[in-house]
Amino acid sequence: MTDRPGTAETPLIAGPPPANPPLLVALLIVVLSLTAPVLFLRAGRPSLWLTSAILALAFAGIVAFVSAIEAQAKRRADHAIRARAIISPSGITFLPTPTRPASRYFSAQHVKHASLLPGALIVTATDLHPSPGRHVLRFGQLACPRAQILDAIATLMSSK
């Protein structure tokens, strides 16, 4: 961080984003996919549509469970409360994570819009940026003052 006015860097310090889907939701889908065939067979006579619905539900349960396990592993790999982004009047830098080892930088002239939500920092890059469009940095509980981050974003947007 620098001491000169107008060049201060504000770190967005936060915990890891919540796992998506939550393990409990994935387990409920798996339980439903295991009990659905019995419930569907008792509901009426078997049909092609009913069989395909049962298979689709079982597949959804497997996908949800595998996704939940992967999400938990990603969360455990990056469990520390740390700086997730740096916001300065010259731009925004998304810091590296174990799943994304390279940082991403958005200079002020390439930032069309930036906003802070309770669990995400959203940056919309202009068409001049190498990867234009919307970029989302998800995080957990903020460990720095929200007002400080909002002030840094306002300073960035007004410096353009």
Sign of the CA dihedral with 75 first, then 76, 80, and 84 last: negative
34: closest CA among 7, 10, 57?
57
Neighbour order of strands in the sheet with 133-138: 111-117, 120-125, 133-138
**In a structure prediction context, what are the per-residue pLDDT tens digits for the chain, which is 160 residues long?**
433 344 589 999 999 988 888 888 888 888 887 787 777 777 777 777 877 877 888 888 888 889 888 888 888 888 889 999 999 999 999 999 877 888 899 999 999 999 999 999 999 999 999 999 999 999 999 999 999 999 999 999 998 6
